[in-house]
Amino acid sequence: MDDPWLPWHDMTNPAQAPLLDTLRAYEIPEGVSLEFRLAGPVVRACAWGIDAALRALLYILLTMGLSVLGGVGVAFMLIGFFLIEWFYPVVFELHTGATPGKKAMGIWVIQDNGTPVTVASSIIRNLLRTVDFLPLLYAFGLLSMLIDREFKRLGDLAAGTLVVYRDQPLKQEISAEEGVIKPPADLSREEQKVMLAFVERGESLSAARRIELAELLTELTGQTGQDAVDELYAYANWITKGHSCDSSARGIGVSP
Amino acid sequence: MRQEQFERENSEFWRELEQFISNLERPRYKRVVNRQGSLDFPSCYRKICSHYALARSRSFSPALLERLHNLVLRGHPHLYRQQTAWGWRMMHFILLDFPRAFRQHSAYFWLALLVFLFPALVLGVGCFQDGDLIYSIMDEQQVASMESMYDPANRQPGRSVERGSETNFMMFGYYIMNNIGIGFRTFAGGILLGVGTLFLLLFNGIVLGGVAGHLTRQGYQDTFWPFVSGHGAFELTAIVICGAAGLMLGHAILAPGQRTRVMALKQQASAALQLVMGAALMLLVAAFIEAFWSSSNLAAGIKYSVAALFWCLVALYLGWMGRSPRGSR
């Protein structure tokens, strides 16, 4: 792969064009690629809001706690203001990769090669925050994020950092009701994904629509009506969980 | 190999590795020490990567792929973490890296100095000749408060009269917040094609030049110059160095050469950061001198001598520190 940052696409189906997605892959020296889901402007703005509230609280605490001490107290207060203004995010990013706001939103900062953010990069991206904020409320930063395909604000561009989601969304939990059935045909990964998507979205569809969709596969399942839906759920369970759960649940279990 | 066999053979290893990585992810003081001291992390990491690649190429179930990918993803930062020895790196930086970085990028420094000094000299001479010119830079209130600060009748030079409770410590805090903030902004403005940096350098040059010229004209030279000459060695030099760092960013975007703009920006930014951090340390020293030395009421002769010493120190430090006979410049 020439460009490690090509949007991820299914290796099993090279004919398929890369989808428009926020998933980015980076190939590491071990020869496999790591996948990161980029955090967009909205989630980052929320994280910033939480941090701004925390910082305001810190300012108030500092003012209340130290102004009673007179000159030296005021000195510490002002130095505290300075440190909070410029280095609040740096401290947290170096410690855990995320400020409390980012942590709450489930995102964190990494280098664009997948390693943890370095001291230099963290300082650069947070010094340049002052320009991203211009002319008001992160207008330049937002503009840069909208133009750049990795949602980088100016500070991220200069520091070579990415803001990504820390945890991948959890897949469908297995539910005992429908059991686990190995699909009768070998499904490609794309087909498996479609089946999982059907189950994940199932709750938001009406029962009639679920049946209607499931019956498209009657040829495969040999079932109609609600049984067809249950059958597909059981296939999805197999796909999600692999074969490793109790195979005696129902139907064609996998031999242990 | 079928998926079930693959999982059966390796699930013990995956669980062990997962525990190991979870342990690494905790803050240092919460880690369980020596629980898996025997686990050879680099080779285990290569193994999990090959498991992931294998599972992927065989189209094993998404849940398994995700589990393995998760381990690969979480292990990566810990294998490639940079270990830092803070104290040592700091010393190395102050004694060698910063002056060397300064000399390596001195062309930017001279350019920034020109942008800062030229308007300062022009406005300085202008305000010295013409008593009204200062009012085209600052409003009347600002001029009045500045005049009162350096009025020879003032108890302490450089401090406003009305805020009698100001102490040296308090001003130390204030100078840190204000001056280092200005330095950082001067650097950051460089990313706007250098325009922000140029603006702040020009602005500060104009104001400082104008003030100096005006106060000298007012006959306050014996309070103003002894006050500013000492810490100015560190403060003004550091602000110009921050300007130089900002110009490096601007240059990278305007003329990236053979690299892409983003790549050029990344490389220049990490080089420029050394200048900014060094300048921030100089501003810290300047804040200390300004708060505790410049405001003292010692004789002008002593203050000028010490100021000369400071300027020589700064020049020697930036010009010669870290040069070695083996060719480091």
Tens digits of residue pLDDT in B220-256: 888 888 889 989 999 999 999 999 999 999 999 999 9
**What pLDDT digit, counting tens, does each position of A29-80 carry?**
777 777 888 999 999 999 999 999 999 999 999 888 877 777 778 888 889 9
Q: What is the pTM of this model?
A: 0.78
Q: How many other C-beta atoms can be found within 10 angstroms of the C-beta atom of residue B298?
A: 11
CA atoms within 13 A on the CB side of B292: 10
Find the CB nearest A34 among B4, B73, B166.
Answer: B73
Report yes or no: B201 and B324 within 8 Å, Cβ to Cβ.
no
Asked if the model's pLDDT at residue A159 lies above 80, the reply is yes
Categorize the per-residue pLDDT at A255 as very low, low, confident or very high, splitting at 50, 70 and 90. very low
- pLDDT given for residue A175 in this prediction: 58
Q: Average pLDDT of chain B?
A: 86
Chain B residues with CB under 8 Å of A77 CB are 173
In single-letter form, the type of residue at position A147 comes to: I
Check B277 against A71: CB less than 8 A apart. no
Q: Average pLDDT of chain A?
A: 79
- pLDDT given for residue A248 in this prediction: 37
Find the CB nearest B63 among A74, A95, A241.
Answer: A241
What's the start-to-end Cα distance of chain A, in Å? 39
**What pLDDT digit, counting tens, does each position of B75-116 carry?**
887 888 766 678 888 898 999 899 999 999 999 999 999 999
Angle between helix axes B195-218 and B140-149 (nearest 10 degrees) is 60
Runs of H (alpha helix) within chain B: 3-25, 41-57, 62-79, 86-92, 98-104, 106-129, 140-149, 168-175, 181-188, 195-218, 221-254, 261-289, 300-320
- pLDDT given for residue B264 in this prediction: 94
Cα–Cα distances (Å) from A203 to A196, A214, B100, B308, in that order, read: 12, 14, 64, 79
Report yes or no: A127 and A155 within 8 Å, Cβ to Cβ.
yes
Q: Which long-range contacts (CB under 8 A, 24 or more apart) does A147-151 make?
A: A150/A5, A150/A24, A150/A38, A150/A112, A151/A22, A151/A38, A151/A39, A151/A40, A151/A41, A151/A44
Counting residues of chain A whose pLDDT is more than 70, the rounded percentage is: 80
Which A-chain residues 125-164 have CB contacts (< 8 A) with chain B?
127-131, 134, 140, 154, 157-160
**What pLDDT digit, counting tens, does each position of B121-139 carry?**
999 999 998 888 888 888 8
Q: Is A81 exposed, middle or buried (0-12, 13-18, 19+ CB in 10 A)?
A: buried
**Residue A241 CA to its chain's centroid (Å):** 22
Q: Token pair for residue B212?
A: 């100096």
Q: Tokens 């025997």 map to which residue?
A: B38
Categorize the per-residue pLDDT at A177 as very low, low, confident or very high, splitting at 50, 70 and 90. low
Which of A236-245, B44-53, B74-83, B250-259 is least confident? A236-245
Nearest to B178 by CA among B65, B100, B284, B21: B284
Q: Tokens 């460089």 map to which residue?
A: B190
- When pLDDT is averaged across residues B10-34 and rounded to a whole number, the result is 82
Categorize the per-residue pLDDT at B166 as very low, low, confident or very high, splitting at 50, 70 and 90. low
Q: Token pair for residue A28?
A: 């590491």
- pLDDT given for residue A237 in this prediction: 76
Report yes or no: B9 and B16 within 8 Å, Cβ to Cβ.
no
**Which ipTM was obtained for this model?**
0.83
Q: Determine the residue of chain A that is closest to B177 in CA distance.
A: A82
Asked if the model's pLDDT at residue A17 lies above 70, the reply is no
Counting residues of chain A whose pLDDT is more than 90, the rounded percentage is: 32
Report yes or no: B289 and B153 within 8 Å, Cβ to Cβ.
no
Provide the 3-class DSSP secondary structure of residue B164: coil
- pLDDT given for residue A9 in this prediction: 42
Minimal C-alpha gap between A204 and chain B (Å): 22
What's the farthest any 2 CA atoms get from each other in chain B? 93
| Alpha carbon distance B176, B168 (integer Å) | 12
- pLDDT given for residue B324 in this prediction: 79
φ and ψ at residue B138, rounded to 5 degrees? -125, 160
Sign of CA dihedral B285, B288, B289, B290: positive
Out of A145-154, A229-238, B62-71, give the one with best mean pLDDT: A145-154
Q: Is the peptide bond before A116 cis (omega within 30 degrees of 0)?
A: no
Provide the 3-class DSSP secondary structure of residue A42: helix
Cα–Cα distances (Å) from B52 to A84, B22, B79, B241, in that order, read: 42, 19, 17, 49
**What pLDDT digit, counting tens, does each position of A94-127 carry?**
888 899 999 999 899 988 887 888 889 999 999 9
| Alpha carbon distance B207, B62 (integer Å) | 65
Minimal C-alpha gap between A186 and chain B (Å): 10
- pLDDT given for residue A37 in this prediction: 87
Asked if the model's pLDDT at residue B156 lies above 70, the reply is no
Q: Token pair for residue B11?
A: 């699930």
**What pLDDT digit, counting tens, does each position of B249-293 carry?**
999 999 998 999 999 999 999 999 999 999 999 999 999 998 888
- When pLDDT is averaged across residues B57-61 and rounded to a whole number, the result is 75
Find the CB nearest B184 among A130, A134, A157.
Answer: A130
